[in-house]
Amino acid sequence: MRDLKIIVPDNFIDVGRKINVNLNKLKRTSGVNYIIKPGLERFNNGEGKCLYNDSLRGTDMFILSDVSNYSITYDSPVGLHHMMPDEHFQDIKRMINASCGNSSRIVVVMPYMYQSRQDKRNGRESLDLAMALGELNHYGVSEVITADVHNKAACDNASPNRPINNFYCSDDIILNLVEKEFFNFEKSMIGSPDFGAIPRANFYASILGGLPLGIFYKQRDYDKVTDGVNKIKKHKFLYEGSIRGKDVLIVDDMIATGGSILKSAQQLKKKGVGRVFLVATFGLFTKGYEMFDEAYSKGVFDKVYATNLNYVPSEIKNKPWFEEVDCSMKLANIICNINEDKSIGTLLNAKAETVAKIKKLKMK
């Protein structure tokens, strides 16, 4: 077994510390610090570098990074600068390069996949996801660990010789929701926010015992782009039968601005549903929380469930409508198994285990 080190920059340090605690549990060690904190420094013109004070020779090197974390700042010639995904990804390459090729294996743990929404080409436009994965391959990364990626096929096509290990947090989210809410399986259903999210929504429905599934149809204006997205012209919920009084889980991979998922919740409320839970792997809240505060005060939704795999400001975490789901044990398990050359297949999709746990909860 190779020595294990997790490289944890400031953008993922809180989850990194939890992973370190869980690694001690899994490896039955006591007080071992698996974390190496990289010295990511900035020159006064914004250029950067990485420096390690610890040796990485012969180690399994796991680089953890939240490229969506906009809370990391540095001083620039024009004032305080908040780091964006491009800069975080550049730091990943610096952390790889600073090891000087001395580690036995390099694994990049990037729960929110960098540029995962720029995954296909329509005309003369960039293929950023493919370029990024190509760079990681060039720098000797043996595999990448990511969560609920927007397009797994695009990742695999861009990296045919290196595994992209895509894990899901559906089991952690569902078990948290079922345990914290008075959940009635007989009077609940799943809502898919669009046709692209149907496989994910169907996965939730099957885990929860074959719940009914409704789908939102969105007709977008593809001639006009506003804030990076095509505006929705038509929005309709497709479902045969009455949904009055049912609790609905609207599930998606991410909540960006939140406008679309809140419109979906408003439509359902007008149809007389009971409680509405908004469920996402990544709660980005790129336009803040005011929109959610207003919708919550009007009874549009009851709770938002999202993981701790990306940065969420503390003022949102403390909101009565927000529930954070800790996925650090799952990540620690994946890291531990790779380090010990064990299979991670059951960890990427823990459906059977979750279904068994749900059955026990139903009996209670």
Q: What residue segments make up the domains of the chain, in order of their start?
A: 4-167+328-348, 170-325
Q: Which residues contact 122 (CB under 8 A, 6 or more apart)?
A: none
- Judged by DSSP in three states, 214 sits in strand
CA 295-296-298 angle, to 5 degrees, is 65
Residues 135, 116: Cα–Cα separation, whole Å: 15
What's the confidence (pLDDT) of residue 232?
Answer: 63
What's the confidence (pLDDT) of residue 1?
Answer: 61
Q: Do domains 4-167+328-348 and 170-325 have the same CATH topology?
A: yes
Closest CA to 159 of 108, 197, 91, 92: 108
Tell me the whole-structure pTM to 2 decimals: 0.91
Q: Is the pLDDT of residue 235 over 90?
A: no
DSSP per-residue letters across 340-361 = TT---HHHH--HHHHHHHHHHH
Q: What is the mean pLDDT of residues 198-217?
A: 89
**For domain 170-325, which architecture applies?**
3-Layer(aba) Sandwich (3.40)
Q: Which residues contact 347 (CB under 8 A, 6 or more apart)?
A: 167, 330, 333, 334, 337
CATH top class, domain 4-167+328-348: alpha beta
What digits encode the pLDDT tens for the residues 288-344? 999 999 999 999 999 999 999 999 999 999 999 999 999 999 999 999 999 999 999
**In this structure, are residues 103 and 139 in contact, taking their beta carbons and an 8 Å threshold?**
no
DSSP per-residue letters across 267-293 = HHHHTT-S-EEEEEEEE--TT-SHHHH
Q: Is the pLDDT of residue 349 over 70?
A: yes
What digits encode the pLDDT tens for the residues 93-131? 999 999 999 999 999 999 999 999 888 888 888 999 999
What's the confidence (pLDDT) of residue 229?
Answer: 60
